[in-house]
Amino acid sequence: MKHRCAVKMSFLLVLCTAVHGADWPQWRGPNRDGVWSEDRIVEQFTGAQLQVRWRAEVGPGYSGPTVAGGRVFVMDRQRTPKEIERVLCLDVPTGKTIWRHEYACAYEKVQYTAGPRASVTIGGELAFSLGTMGHLFCLKTSDGQVVWNKELKAEYQVAMPIWGIAASPLVEGDLVIVQAGGRPGACLIAFDKRSGQERWRALNDRASYSSPIIIEQPGRRVLICWTGDGIAALNPQTGQVYWQYPFKPKQMVINIATPVVHGENLFLTGFYDGSLLLRLDPNGLKVDKVWQRCGQNEQVTDALHCCISTPVMLGDFIYGVDSYGQLRCLSLQTGDRIWEDLQLVPKARWANIHLVRHGQQVWMFNERGELIITELGPKGCRQISRTQVIEPTTGQLDQRGGVCWSHPAFADRSIFARNDRELVCADLASLEARP
């Protein structure tokens, strides 16, 4: 089934393209906005453990699965008998491996070595993978054959971030765009998606871990990237810089959350540096600061100090996960805290929840491997249903009994979630949608 997603906003339109209704082909879904639009989904879970359709063995890695054309794509790392990274392609109905692509990859001067960070991005018949040390591959989705590849670290003199390269590739028209932190002037690089030829490079900024997105402002397609030094808006076809806003880190680059757009508002939040709300000019290619707030430190925070999780904006409010797992509601206009909830994930440093909007609800996948259906509003968080999907493992973080930090995929009326041992597919279809 194919449909056209349309997100109508008075001044700003988020890019929506025709995609398969059951697909989750890139980081945070069809439009990189954390929105899941399938119908005939369960309203409540029937037990403490979600029914798993299949399990497939995978190695460690932070790379969240993506789903397109009846196939699941994910990356992992193997350390024995030699150090390699792998791109795996599995069958959606059965979980059986269709193909795998592997290559030698020794991790050098990178912390948290569980495995690749970025999600595989699907663009038609091509899959684009980006490994921790900068190995970029264009693969055929049919059989995993290499179409072209780049070793970004060597070819672009990448100043390797302390946690490696993490931002997921972005397919835009006939280009694939990556944030790599190369030199000179190659923080962002665009390649012809079929030939691998460089089409443009831009910015001398350090790389961050935040994946770029596409918006419209006003009536133009605009690439938004949160780098290690600020927020930049560029022409995605040429690399021309439209505007930049400085947002330099006070301690270190730890920009992980994806920029969030809602109407004229562009919101960013980081673990040490708090929150920044910008107003996108509806009439021209420029931006203004609405407010910026930052607490005393990682424990005495103000507004939001998100680490891994990307917030959501609903109406006049922002909802996100603070530095130690506190789910918070903020006033969009001021950044003032409306409420805080500590029941969604146990409190701990970097405690994480991935938030996905489905209709009027927000589905949460926390680091304990639980899936929670909620409704969020200025009066609080209402938990509708809660269940276990997958168990935490210690590869990604050897603390608190392990974590599930990888973002799940929601496709084919199912959830696809991984830890450091397995990838699982669990059924989320309502009774009327089941055969």
**What does DSSP assign to residue 37?**
-
Please give the Cα distance from 270 to 184 (Å, whole number).
26
Can you tell me whether residue 418 is helix, strand or coil? strand
How many alpha carbons fall within 13 Å on the CB side of residue 251? 12
Q: What digits encode the pLDDT tens for the residues 25-45?
A: 999 999 999 999 999 999 999
Element (H, E) at 410: strand 409-411
Please give the Cα distance from 190 to 174 (Å, whole number).
10
Phi and psi angles of residue 153, each rounded to the nearest 5 degrees, phi first: -55, -45
Phi and psi angles of residue 155, each rounded to the nearest 5 degrees, phi first: -70, -25
Please give the Cα distance from 241 to 425 (Å, whole number).
41
Q: What is the pTM of this model?
A: 0.94
Please give the Cα distance from 366 to 425 (Å, whole number).
16
Nearest to 406 by CA among 312, 309, 267: 309
Give the per-residue pLDDT at 431.
84
Give the per-residue pLDDT at 311.
98
Number of H helices, E strands in the chain: 1, 34
Phi and psi angles of residue 434, each rounded to the nearest 5 degrees, phi first: -90, 145
**Residue 13 and residue 7 in contact, taking contact as beta carbons nearer than 8 Å:** yes
Q: What angle do CA 184, 185, 189 make, to 5 degrees?
A: 110
How many alpha carbons fall within 13 Å on the CB side of residue 170? 27
End-to-end CA distance of the chain: 16
AA identity, residue 207: A
Give the per-residue pLDDT at 98.
98
Give the per-residue pLDDT at 222.
98
Give the per-residue pLDDT at 303.
98
Please give the Cα distance from 271 to 256 (Å, whole number).
9
Please give the Cα distance from 357 to 371 (Å, whole number).
13
- The strand pairing partners of 151, in sequence order, are 135
pLDDT averages per 10-residue partition of the chain, 435 residues: 36 36 91 97 93 97 98 98 98 98 97 98 98 98 98 97 98 98 98 98 98 95 98 98 96 96 98 98 97 97 98 98 98 98 98 98 98 98 98 97 98 98 97 84
- The domain 2-433 is placed in CATH, from the list 3.10.129.10, 2.130.10.10, 1.10.150.130, 3.30.70.370, at 2.130.10.10
Burial of 246 by CB count in 10 Å (0-12 exposed, 13-18 middle, 19+ buried)?
exposed
Nearest to 341 by CA among 386, 378, 391, 315: 378
Nearest to 65 by CA among 428, 417, 420: 417
**Buried/exposed 378-405: b ≥16 CB within 10 Å, e otherwise:** eeebeeeebbebbebbebbbeeeebbbb
Domain ranges of the chain: 2-433
Please give the Cα distance from 315 to 172 (Å, whole number).
29
Tally of CB atoms within 10 A around 216: 16
